[in-house]
Structure 1
Amino acid sequence: MAKDYKFSISVYIDNEELLPATIASITADKEFFRNSIQIVLIDSLVTKESTELCLKYTDDYPENIYFVDCQGENMAECFSDARVICTGAYVSFIRAGDEYSYEALKKLSEEPAFTKAPAICIAAETSKRRNGSVPYNFGAKDGTIKLKTNPDKVSLILGAYFFRNDTIVNVRFKKSLSSDFTMAFILDYFYHIGSYVYTSKFKFISPYPAENDIKNLKEQYNKSYFTDSIIRFAIPMLETKGNSAVIMNMVMYLIYIKLACGLGERYMFTMGPNGVNDFFNLISDAMQNIDDAVILNRNIARRALFPSTLTFKMLRLKYHNKALKPDIDFFPIGNSSQFEFRDASLRPRKMKTSGGFIATLGGALISSSEHIDVKIMSLKAEGSNLYISGCVTDISFLDRIEYKLFAISNRERIQFKDYHFYSLKTLFEIPFDKDHGFTITIPLKNIKEMTVLSFYISIDKINYKLRFSFGSTAAHLTEKFPHSYCVSGGRLITFDLEKRSITIRRATSFMQSHHERLFLSDVKKAVSVQKYLKIKRLRKRYHSTIDKYAERRIWLMCDSKNANSEDAHDIYNYINSLHDKRGIEVFYSHREINPDDSFIMTAFQSNNLASGTMTQKIIAMNADVIISNGHNVYKNLGFEDGEEIYYRDLLMADIVSFGDGISMLRSAQSENKMYDDTALRFCGSEQEYERLIHPIYGYDQKHLFAFGYPHMDTLMSVPSKQILVCPAMRRGFAKYAHIGYQNFTTEPLYSVFNSFIADRKLLSALHENNCNLVLILPEELAKQEYLWNKSEYVSVSSFENLGYKETIEKSAMLITDYSNIAFDFAYMRRPIIYYQNPSVSLQNNISTFSYRESGFGDVVTDADELVERVISTINSNFEVSAEYLKRRKEFFAFDDRNNCKRIANAIYDFEYNNKVPTADVKGGFGEVKPKPEPQPIAKQASNQEKAEKTIKPVEKKPQSQQPKKAIKPKEEYEEVEHQGIIYSDVPKKQEIGYSKEQKISQKYRPRPTEPPHQSEQYTERRVQPQQTQQIRYAEAPKRQRPVEPPYQPKQHTTERQVQLQQTQQIRYAEAPKRQRPAEPPRQPKQHTTERQVQPQRQQTQQIRYAEAPKKQPRPVQPQRSSGARYAEPSQQRNPQKSSEARRVAQSRTTAQRKAPTSQESVKQTTAQPKHADKKSKKSFRIF
């Protein structure tokens, strides 16, 4: 008799190594497992190991675990077969490796909703790794989810659901769908069932990525993921069940996920240009069955990691109308009103608004003034101005002529200046949207006490205040912490998101310490205790080292991990090798400090810093300049993803950047100035300069210079007989790390280059000329050397293993399609062949350089022709033709191997002299003082001319007065051999002080015996001067101190001072001597009790009260009317009488002050109030 199981769990096995973890999580509670759980093991592998493992579990639990052999079937077919066996109340479908949290099934069975809900969904975590897993969030809250009102609140993780067995009888797994069958099953289920219960108390943990985990999603690297999924799943689902809001929302969500895979640099060139056009057409066909309100649903766009600002662009794609414009409704500010629109559930909703505008189309909400965001990318005080740059997002539904952007600072209007930088949003390399770039300038002299800045948009002469955010490290602020602050140009900058304002004021130490405490309190609330202590310790250490580094000029260098050249390291070595560094301290941040690495041993180890350490981060915060090749500088310095937001206000260094060698590719997205707010960008040629000076890159003539690359100064020109084959890196190669490297053999690039290195004619030529060939693979394919045809003269490796600089220096020739390495070979005057086979597609963004017209070698498209060119180049001893040498000379900006010096001088002038850098290499770093130019030799006069001249007699000076001439010893030369070269003009070293005989005698003289120890004599140089000095001291008479005269009083010379002195002496003479009164005889102290003392005190107090005069009553003054401001004329004082009364009062007080009587003194003492002096001081302080 079959048991009444509460749960039936079907486990699909495609990896038997992951199965034990799944079984362990289900059988955590043995008793509950034996009584309530059924497991169906579905083996699709059917190997010896998997079969033995499944049979072992069935033997251990024969009543609970069942085994099904499904060899050759896909996952949809396996789940369909297993569903028939499942007899439990609730059924779940999972894969080997999936787990449940501890006792989740037992506790779930005790929930009140159990056995009542049609389906139960628990919280899910996906992509489980060693470092944790990714929480799956789809916006649902605990409780019953009614899909009629929340059609987008559906989880697409199949293993997180427990379906009631009687509700899935009519729902099938579609075997025709290979990857989307789980989503099709869930959507088909909820098409018939309108609700489910969600609980976040229990967790489902899976090692496989979720549908929106684009970083780990393997399916995106196959073309079928984009096109076949739309054809086989999306369009049929919408055609049959398109009347359901759930189906429309979730299919649109899946379309947004596929579009998100093609955003910007995420796209790995899975589809060509024709494939992208077909994909967009399929999306347009699918959206014909989706309502406009669903397409504009920003919630599902954000969940798919797709920019919500592009939802209106998708509406234009649906109707194939680029000129489609929304209807804009304006609401006056301050008046609350209601606006009706249709939401994602296709039902009318009302929204309250108190101002602003709302853009709609057919009743569907497109955007509003609340959605427009001012994203600040750079905020910096430079010179006498404060510059704020950024872009305004979610404004593409408006035309430029329809609105105006401006800022208001202290009631002063500041217009936005258009700032052209790369703000495009591309989908599959096609520009889809562009933000409005801007910059504003605020003079620092206008910022006195406090300046409040706000951003506005004006439409139809109505101004609306906009919200703002901070989009990069160069903004130095972050909206994640309300009390984030920064100091730039002596100004403290804070913000208030509620008031939508930025406050700028003068920075004081008190204000900085106050905001530091507030910022740390925000951080403490947002992170764990351990992370908070780490952040606090680093910030505290920085503030304690400000004085230490305040006067030091620090330059920090770092190279990108993925870069081939090491330009920052070359500049570091150059400055360190100079005698005069002009006060510059240079540091180098290396990602791996290894004592055995020659990279470090050649440098100065004292200033080498390990990347990511606290010391290195402190140096980065105190540096004036950070030099790096490539963008994302702080990531190169070891800051983890998201870590820099805690230190944005401290990272104020100017960024100096290089590219990874000369590049002619269109890469405005990765080389844009706005990423790091690059202060100086250096390039290697005029053509590269023309490419980067385009407005889309964001540079101007003050920040971009063609001064060469530092690594070119150190390139040698002594190659060996080595041929380097290096195809260019394609971003599409990254997909093979996910789908398997063995699939790379299907690439046309593999077949083209693999057949070339295996050509017999080429191999015989290599053998005859004793040459070798090295094929360099990209980093993604470096571990798959076994796929290539290697031989005695052909090797396969990568720059990571061989080293970039060492490899190109040894190579005498380069074969490539369009790699940037060709520019380094051209600089070294070595032959190049461009092998551009038609079957190998080039990258879409290569169009700025003509290899036939401007290249440095022949362009070959045929394999046989390539072999012939290589053999002819070997026979010519790798000679370069004059035409390509001429192109080389015209291409490179400089060829004097002074790039390091030129760049170092430019950085110094820009940073400390406030000069525009120039290409002059005179002066600056390491410049030797110029030698004086030799004077021209005068023409010798003839004998006749000498005779004609009159010779004047010269007076001879005494020999003592004549200056002595320094006798220069005659130089002797000797031959010296150095590195195989004999130099015969090396001056011989002179040994001064000894002749040859003395030198020999000194060499063989025996060592004298040491004299007995004497008391230490403090001698300067010789003994004789000391003895003479002692004799002089003995003969000298002793110095006697002069006798001081008796003290005389100071004589006053002025007449006034004499009169005062005489008067004072008379007074002193007439004054009687003060006599000390006789003291009464001492009486012994009477010890009385407190009871005896108290009557005496009362008696004394009564006598004092009796002697005191009675207080006279105060005369009553007439009351003034409360409304009268001035007194009546009769009550006004007479000025003459008041002055006379004042003089009489003053005379009386003077007389009383001179001779007060005892009675009057008592009256004055009693009339004075108690603590009158303290009260007056206190009231003054209050006043």
Structure 2
Amino acid sequence: MIALMIHGAEHREAVLATLRSIAGLSSYTPERFTVVVLGDAPADPAALPLEVAYAASVDGFDLGTAADGAYVELIPAGLEYSPDAFDVFFADAAAGSLARCYIHREGAYAYRLNRTVGREDRGPVTLDDADRLWAGSTPALVPLDVFRACSSDARTGGDPNLLFAEAILATGGFSVLGGKVTSPQQHEDALYGEQRLFTPDWYLGFLTRWVALLERVAAQPAGAPPYLQRVFLYLAQLRLQYNVDRHNKNALDEAQLAEFAELLARGLAAVSDEEIIGAVRKPLGYRRSMVAYLLKAKHRAAFSPRAEIDADGRDVVVTVNGHEVERLSEVRLAIDVMDSTRDELIVSGLVQSLYLTDRLALTARVGGTDLPLPDSGVYSEFSVFGELQRRQPTFTARIPRSLLAAADRIEFVATFTEKTAAHASTGVPLRLNFRRPSAKLSDVPGSYWIACGRLLRAQPSGIAVGPAGALQRLKAELRLQRRLLGGERVERSAALLRLVYFATRPWYRFKRDWIYYDRIILAGDNAEYAYDYAAAQRDGIRKNYVLAADSAPATRFREQGKPFLPHKTLTHRLRFLNAELVFATHLKPATRNAFSWNEQFFRDLFGYRVVYINHGLVLDDLSYSLNKHAENQSRMCVVSHFETETLSDPSYGFARDEIIETGFARYDGLESRPTRDLLLAPTWRYYLNRPQDADRLQGHNEEFTESDYFKVYNGVINNPRLHRGLEEHGYTLTYLLHPNTSSHVDDYRSSSDRVRILAPQNSPGYERMLSESDLMITDYSGVQFDFAYMTKPVLYYHHPSIPPHYRRGAFSYEEHGFGEVATDEETLVDTLLDYLAQECRMPEAYRARVDAFFTHRDRDNSKRIYEAGHALLRERSG
């Protein structure tokens, strides 16, 4: 009665796993199930109590031999059923109430969209029920006649979403089977989709197939049903969302991007504007910026938002083709930074309007005074596939302490600058969104902050300002405590830690704490060297270097008798809350210092200033992550005037005196001790690997070995001419993976015993490796500058198939780099062999570039960083 057709027979073990689960079905009998393995390399299930047929393809098996009323399910190799997966089907069959289409629930990760079909849903779900959506991630069990009527694209198994869509169009809906299925494949809307290798077919093939379906259905009098429109929107949005801002996967070239845009417009033509605009609501729940992008992608040149003051003159309404898409009264103002000095309150953020960005004037209304807030030019871009779609206006409000003292409220008012004959320009107080730890306040009810002698409280469309006496502070804390204690476990634990903070604050008040951290599980970067110098200074300040207690560097610290602050301990949290300075090589100090899930409950207590000592140089355009709004960095410590030039761009938002050319602390430990070893050390790619979390390495990307990145560097370490050159000249080569790709260390293999492959956590440490290497090969990695600092040669390998994930800045590798640039493997090997023949000596031309690049070439970098911290505190205290 059921034909289970398994595709992917080349994966023998996966096929066997599926066959074993079929044999374990509580409803399995040979009379009920026909099992077919599709492909040219069938697996032999001789050891299983199962009858299996084989066919080269779906069309190669005669489904006509199946009994009348047979159902068909196409499944991928490796999918496993729970024993009761088909019990509902046979119960319905016995009752004579079989549905025309069934779907299985997922046993592991579920599509986010699929959660709209709740556990109690047995069906049927019809095409009129457009809020109980299923993406088609699990196999669909359909009657034989329905399966035969589906397109060949749907019946190959390559696009299960398409088969599901065509099936429900034919059947009118589906019912839910009992039990569950577990697939070995990563769902395409997996939360951490960056770990997937995206191919052109995932974009273009998907759209080609779905456009054919949508255009066929749209040609019918009723058009495409809303159910199908929403499923398509969801699947299309995935292809876009994984390429937003710096997440561009670089999977499509220019011609393919043009084809994608054309196909997307054709697909969206079958989707109503109402459905696109309504996608901000659940079950889709899109960001408003994505909705705006989809509307523009659909209408292209005809896209023309219209903004007008409404009839009563109190609001501004934006419409697209007569459909309302935005109201000024609903626009949010995101606050990223709140800070204070002796003389003023500083508030920075951006206006989150999608359609009015160039037609608004922003002011801060403090009491009865309006302060104009022009666009500050800080980075606030939204891009898709690397193409800028829009930027939102940013601002910095400086509110004098004297003005704040007389005010009871701060509002941010947006005024529509276009007047009409009927109405003058209208000003609307914007709703507030406190979106970063540096915002001090949060959207948590009851959040407050003391600044400039006033108590500030977050409200939906403003900031309440009041007295900050002891009684008012106590009342504010009690209100917040009641809110937290009445919440979930995370909120209750936050309430307890706040109480511990206030109880211990009198003792900490007489202590001074500075926090230093690199990667919590790796260490050995600028923060450790800066910490070593600062800890030796007798200034009454307690220096704390944060490490995961079970990490290899922690063992090293213990052996050296060097103290460290164990990560995620109560002591760590309390010292961080009381710290006056944080010296960071990576941003997001709160997240990296044990406040990852609950930082919004402690923002008012974060009193630290950030001295950013980086782990790489700021030469390329990193304004998307290192701008002033990211963490309100008080100082940016750099090594070169090139960095100063880059960071002085308005998109970063720094004042000139906030950028200090101190040099990197880790340079103090560099001493060249060449051992006839070459170092290959490329950086990572955001479109292949996620950044490392604070206290753990990232997982393995199963598709990594199919990427150009892997193939390019695996080719280098297996180049026969390179191997012969190493042997002839007596050198070895170490391939040191970047920490964000270190989980792939076992994917690489070299046929030469003169090549070794290391992950950072298994290496003797950066300082030793850099000191003992004779020559470095890299692409864009910041460790090139450590190497050049010792006046040792650097070669650059800029293969066109693996572009960087950031935009180029003021530094040109051709004009300012410290060695030759190769764009293909053979040129790289040719240049490298020339260096080996010359005993890896750096040419004079590149020595001159080194001298011109670094502001300091001494061993006082850590000292300058230490002094910069003290100077910052003196400045703040007056």
Specify the TM-score bucket, using the shorter chain as the normaliser: 0.7 to 0.9
More off after superposition, 710-719 vs 564-573: 564-573
1:471 to 435, 447, 462: 435
Query: 2:300 is matched with which residue?
Result: 320
1:793 to 729, 735, 754: 754
Tell me which amino acid in the other structure corresponds to 1:622: N
Query: 1:902 is matched with which residue?
Result: 864
- SS state of the match for residue 628, structure 2? coil
**Does residue 590 of the first structure (1) align with residue 547 of the second (2)?**
yes
Superposed CA deviations along residues 647-683 of structure 1, whole A, max 9, x for unmatched, are 3333231122132222422222222222222121111
In 2, the alpha carbon distance for the partners of 1:443 and 1:312 equals 38
Query: 1:311 is matched with which residue?
Result: 291
Query: 1:833 is matched with which residue?
Result: 795
**Does residue 495 of the first structure (1) align with residue 474 of the second (2)?**
no
In 2, the alpha carbon distance for the partners of 1:79 and 1:517 equals 72
CA contact (8 A) 1:126 1:208 kept: no
- SS state of the match for residue 718, structure 1? coil
Tell me which amino acid in the other structure corresponds to 1:706: E
In 1, the alpha carbon distance for the partners of 2:718 and 2:29 equals 64
In 1, the alpha carbon distance for the partners of 2:157 and 2:389 equals 28
125 and 786 in structure 1: CA distance in 2 versus 1, 3 angstrom threshold: closer
1:612 to 568, 572, 582: 568
CA drift at 1:49: 7.7
CA contact (8 A) 1:11 1:96 kept: no
Query: 1:156 is matched with which residue?
Result: 135
Query: 1:292 is matched with which residue?
Result: 273
Number of matched pairs:
851
CA drift at 1:426: 1.6
Superposed CA deviations along residues 763-799 of structure 1, whole A, max 9, x for unmatched, are 34323xxx32223334526645574434243333233
1:453 to 394, 397, 410: 410
CA contact (8 A) 2:437 2:603 kept: yes
Query: 2:510 is matched with which residue?
Result: 551
**Does residue 383 of the first structure (1) align with residue 342 of the second (2)?**
yes
| Structure possessing the higher radius of gyration over alpha carbons | 1
**Does residue 704 of the first structure (1) align with residue 666 of the second (2)?**
no
TM-score between both structures, scaled by the size of structure 2: 0.85
1:398 to 339, 356, 371: 356
1:127 to 95, 99, 109: 109
CA contact (8 A) 2:147 2:167 kept: no
- SS state of the match for residue 876, structure 2? coil
Tell me which amino acid in the other structure corresponds to 2:595: F
Query: 2:638 is matched with which residue?
Result: 683
Query: 1:673 is matched with which residue?
Result: 628
In 2, the alpha carbon distance for the partners of 1:757 and 1:573 equals 44
Query: 1:635 is matched with which residue?
Result: 591
CA drift at 1:808: 0.5
In 2, the alpha carbon distance for the partners of 1:614 and 1:384 equals 35
CA contact (8 A) 1:424 1:431 kept: yes
594 and 147 in structure 1: CA distance in 2 versus 1, 3 angstrom threshold: closer
Superposed CA deviations along residues 185-206 of structure 1, whole A, max 9, x for unmatched, are 332233345556789x997776
CA drift at 1:265: 3.0
Tell me which amino acid in the other structure corresponds to 2:817: G
**Does residue 462 of the first structure (1) align with residue 404 of the second (2)?**
no
CA contact (8 A) 1:573 1:603 kept: no
453 and 166 in structure 1: CA distance in 2 versus 1, 3 angstrom threshold: farther
2:722 to 747, 753, 759: 759
In 2, the alpha carbon distance for the partners of 1:420 and 1:82 equals 68
In 2, the alpha carbon distance for the partners of 1:8 and 1:870 equals 60
Tell me which amino acid in the other structure corresponds to 1:617: R
- SS state of the match for residue 545, structure 1? helix
CA contact (8 A) 1:260 1:306 kept: no
2:737 to 764, 768, 777: 777
- SS state of the match for residue 498, structure 2? helix
In 2, the alpha carbon distance for the partners of 1:896 and 1:657 equals 20
1:265 to 246, 254, 261: 246
Superposed CA deviations along residues 676-720 of structure 1, whole A, max 9, x for unmatched, are 221211111000111122111222213222221111111112322
Tell me which amino acid in the other structure corresponds to 1:709: F
Q: Among the aligned pairs, what percent are the same residue?
A: 18
211 and 593 in structure 1: CA distance in 2 versus 1, 3 angstrom threshold: closer
Point out where structure 1 has 5 or more consecutive residues left out of the alignment: 28-32, 59-66, 334-354, 917-1183
Query: 1:816 is matched with which residue?
Result: 778
Superposed CA deviations along residues 1116-1159 of structure 1, whole A, max 9, x for unmatched, are xxxxxxxxxxxxxxxxxxxxxxxxxxxxxxxxxxxxxxxxxxxx
315 and 203 in structure 1: CA distance in 2 versus 1, 3 angstrom threshold: same
Query: 1:424 is matched with which residue?
Result: 381
Query: 1:648 is matched with which residue?
Result: 603
Superposed CA deviations along residues 807-851 of structure 1, whole A, max 9, x for unmatched, are 101012223343322211111111223344667656662353222
CA contact (8 A) 2:531 2:543 kept: yes
CA contact (8 A) 1:720 1:811 kept: yes
Give the 5 Å matches for 1:236-251. Answer: 236-241=213-218, 243-246=223-226, 247-251=228-232
CA drift at 1:373: 1.3
Point out where structure 2 has 5 or more consecutive residues left out of the alignment: 420-424, 691-698
- SS state of the match for residue 670, structure 1? helix
446 and 663 in structure 1: CA distance in 2 versus 1, 3 angstrom threshold: closer
Tell me which amino acid in the other structure corresponds to 1:477: L
CA contact (8 A) 1:12 1:41 kept: no
Query: 2:873 is matched with which residue?
Result: 911
Query: 1:889 is matched with which residue?
Result: 851
Tell me which amino acid in the other structure corresponds to 1:318: K
TM-score between both structures, scaled by the size of structure 1: 0.64
Give the 5 Å matches for 1:65-144. Answer: 67-70=51-54, 73=57, 84=66, 97=79, 115=97, 126-127=108-109, 136-138=114-116
- SS state of the match for residue 321, structure 1? helix
In 2, the alpha carbon distance for the partners of 1:270 and 1:89 equals 38
CA drift at 1:39: 5.7
* Superposed CA RMSD: 4.3
- SS state of the match for residue 753, structure 1? helix
**Does residue 172 of the first structure (1) align with residue 173 of the second (2)?**
no
CA drift at 1:47: 8.5
2:257 to 276, 299, 305: 276
Tell me which amino acid in the other structure corresponds to 2:315: G
- SS state of the match for residue 780, structure 2? coil
Query: 2:401 is matched with which residue?
Result: 444
CA drift at 1:444: 3.0
CA contact (8 A) 1:490 1:506 kept: yes
CA drift at 1:638: 3.5
CA drift at 1:264: 2.1
In 2, the alpha carbon distance for the partners of 1:613 and 1:554 equals 16
CA contact (8 A) 2:582 2:608 kept: yes
In 1, the alpha carbon distance for the partners of 2:5 and 2:725 equals 58
316 and 86 in structure 1: CA distance in 2 versus 1, 3 angstrom threshold: same
CA contact (8 A) 1:567 1:629 kept: yes
Query: 2:694 is matched with which residue?
Result: none
1:484 to 441, 447, 457: 447
In 2, the alpha carbon distance for the partners of 1:901 and 1:437 equals 36
CA drift at 1:888: 1.5
CA contact (8 A) 1:833 1:858 kept: yes
CA drift at 1:124: 5.4
More off after superposition, 619-628 vs 696-705: 696-705
- SS state of the match for residue 480, structure 2? helix
621 and 604 in structure 1: CA distance in 2 versus 1, 3 angstrom threshold: farther
In 1, the alpha carbon distance for the partners of 2:745 and 2:513 equals 43
CA contact (8 A) 2:457 2:463 kept: yes
